[in-house]
Structure 1
Amino acid sequence: MKLIAIAALALLANATQAQIGQIDLSPAQAGRIHAERDPAAIRALPKDLKLVKPGTLTVAITAAVPPASTYATDAKTIVGSDADQAHQLAEALGLQLDLVSVAWPDWPLGLASGKYDAVISNVGVTEERKLKFDFSTYRLGLHGFFVRKDSPIQSIKEPKDIAGLRIITSSGTIQERILLEWNKLNVAAGRKPAELLYFDDIVAAKLALESGRADAHFNPYGPLAYLAAKEGKTRAVGTVNAGWPLKADVAVATRKGSGLAAALTVATNTLIHNGKYAQTLARWGISEEAVSQAETNPPGLPKF
């Protein structure tokens, strides 16, 4: 089954660029990949599980940046790869879904206080967060290097590749930490450090890259891949895991000790093995972020 899933990912990744430009942002979402009831996942639910609403999985999500989450053309329906994940998990567990829009900084308090059963909103696993929440992984936490389509740069995958470049990133972020660490390694090796250019607005960052005021843009992979495929003005030249030099995956967050995480992990692995997981990621143009297996509470990003 794992070989089937890997083959499906490889085939679907080739179609990513063609599909993403035609992404369906309609509220109907006719192309959404649906899950079937998963007996194994349902058996993994604790018998004393208390949901916010009986028979319903209440999931918090931040409709902020496509392709993970955004609003449909009706300006009220939440769509995206994270929204699809929420629908599939509810279906696998035989539950209705109540998708609740929240501001990203508000999810920890809302989840801890029992307002939601789970959070699916590009949340990375960290050791600090694991003290308060349980996690079920479903996507790699990737950051990507993107350049102008006509750039001579073909690959950025390690510290020496950024020496002397002007790189756009966001201040106070994981991606900034990675670049600063790479600069330290380059200086120690006698290479020129990269010049970091800080932009909080993706439109301003896009214009700076396209006008030649920067050599590369380094931020979370999904939004930049979506923009590149949609507009055709930039291209990816490398990815780095958010946990570099370690690994940090994106996960569904649930209340600590609720027992829900184990069932979500079983359901996600069923979707991986039957190929529906791969189809969903390809539908939103992020096949590169696929995990080969979902895990419950894996090692997370340590506190630096």
Structure 2
Amino acid sequence: MPTHFSRRSLLRGITAATAVATLATGLTACGGDSDAATTTDAAATGTVTVGQLSNRAAQQAELKVSEVKSISAELPESVRKSGKLVIGVGALPDGFPPLAYVGSDQKTLTGAEPDFGRLVAAVLGLQPELKNSTWENMFVGIDSGKVDVAFSNITDTEERKRKYDFASYRKDNVGFEVLKSSTWNFDGDYENLAGKTVAVDNGTNQEKILLEWQAKLKKEGKKLTVKHFASKNSTYLALTGGKIDAYFAANPGVAYHITQTAKSPNPTRSAGTFSGAGATLQGLIAATTKKDSGIAKPVTDAINHLIKNGQYAKWLAAWNLSNEAVEKAEVNPPGLPLDNS
């Protein structure tokens, strides 16, 4: 997503969608705007448990992952000798389920992003050490060298490449949520929105995209009704009450809410996704390292090893994010251009 929308609008789209769950699971236990306590996983390299303490957001799974010495040998000597991979996560103060948040024990950092950092660390033969901070302080940690790599839903942009190197690992998507009983699907074509009523949050990247589609349809003599609601609960009530056909939001937030409604009287499902970067570029989420640190390449190779061996697909499936899978990881792939970042 464009950076002037992506971070804050994504957090708005995800955290607002899960405000009730946030309070229920004690996400504010993370603390204030300073770095939270650093945590080092005690599990030995070889097995990584994903989806722990997820508050029903994930299907817990144990994945067998061993060090690949040909990949770990690519690491800078200082990182290899330290025996640990310091992973930055910018989830303070409230977290953003299902990507990074405090788990059901109200103290352990969980989510798809820290889980993936743990998987990459295992391939590299390193002990994962998670440092949870605010979004801004996470980048300070990378800049200062206190953080080796950040896994925190960071969009690959050309502007950020001036200071950082990237290892892509997930699509940056927005998506449609509908009732499970609905037969409508987006199918990647805005024309399918003709005659529909869709809710979207004010000031978000997805609102920008939806309004562009609305304007196109209007020129074609077709109508797309866009609705805004004062709260996320009001949006969901409108969806279950049939007042709207779909809700257009950040795809991870949609994925999370689907897991929360699965056993309710009104379960929901995904009706399709769209690149947060728009029609001409697939937006990408990437592991982020200090520029020229020498870490991006081995991290990319570790990700591709996970893809090849199936652990990557199992990680995404555990967190209901299979629709954001990439075929391969790349070092510094094309990102959002400077005039859109």
TM-score (normalised: structure 2): 0.74
Q: CA RMSD in A?
A: 2.5
1:272 aligned partner: 307
Q: How many residues align?
A: 278
Preserved contact between residue 32 and residue 280 of structure 1 (Cα < 8 Å): no
1:76 lines up with 2:87 in the alignment: no
Q: Which amino acid aligns with 1:289?
A: E
Out of 59, 62, 85, the residue aligned to residue 116 of structure 2 is: 85
1:258 aligns with 2:286: no
Give the Å deviation of 1:270: 0.5
Aligned to 2:45: none
Deviation digits for residues 222-267 of structure 1, max 9, x if unmatched?
A: 2212321331321211111112211111111111111111110000
Q: Residues of 2 paired with 1:108 and 1:204: CA distance?
A: 35
* Residues 1:103 and 2:102 are matched in the alignment: no
Cα distance, 1:276 vs structure 2: 1.0
Asked if the contact 1:162–1:194 (Cα under 8 Å) also holds between the matched residues in 2, the reply is no
Task: For residues 69-108 of structure 1, give each alpha carbon's deviation from its aligned partner in whole angstroms, at most 9, with x where no partner exists.
Answer: 2222211111222121111111111211111112234433
The one-character-per-residue Cα deviations of 1:124-160 (angstroms, maximum 9, x if unpaired) are 1111112221110111112111112333534353222
d(CA) in 2 for partners of 1:214 and 1:283?
29
Residue range with higher mean Cα deviation, 99-108 or 273-282: 99-108
- Which residue does 1:216 correspond to in 2? 246
**Does 2:221 correspond to 1:207?**
no
Q: Distance in 1 between matches of 2:309 and 2:183?
A: 40
Q: Secondary structure of the residue that 1:124 maps to in structure 2?
A: coil
Distance 2:135 2:199 in 1: 23
Query: Structure 2 CA distance, aligned partners of 1:119 and 1:94?
Result: 17
Could you tell me which residue of structure 1 aligns to residue 182 of structure 2? 151
Aligned pairs (5 A) from 1:2-21: none
Q: Which has the higher relative contact order, 1 or 2, with Cα contacts under 8 A spaced 6 or more apart?
A: 1
Q: Which residue of 2 aligns with 1:61?
A: 89
> Which residue does the alignment assign to 1:114?
145
Partner of residue 12, structure 2: none
In 2: Cα distance, 1:281 partner to 1:25 partner: 16
Query: Does the CA contact (< 8 Å) of 1:168 and 1:196 recur in 2?
Result: yes
Greater alpha carbon shift after TM alignment, 263-272 vs 132-141: 132-141
> Match of 1:14?
none
CA apart distance, 1:164: 4.2
Q: Kindly indicate whether the alpha-carbon contact (under 8 Å) linking 2:198 and 2:247 is maintained by their aligned counterparts in 1.
A: yes
Fraction of identical pairs, as percent: 37
Q: What per-residue deviation string (whole Å, max 9, x for no partner) do you get for residues 41-95 of structure 1? A: 2122234x569x9322111114423322222221111122212111111111121
With over 3 angstroms needed to count, the CA separation of the structure-2 counterparts of 1:181 and 1:86, relative to structure 1, is same
- Aligned to 2:257, what secondary structure does the other structure show? helix
Which residue identity does 1:251 align to in structure 2? A
Does the 8 Å CA contact 2:90/2:137 hold for their aligned counterparts? Answer: no
Aligned to 1:189: 220
Paired with 2:103 and 2:147, the residues of 1 have a C-alpha distance of 22
CA distance in 2, matches of 1:109, 1:124: 17
Question: Does the residue aligned with 1:178 lie in a helix, a strand or coil?
Answer: helix
Aligned with 1:33 (options 49, 52, 63): 63
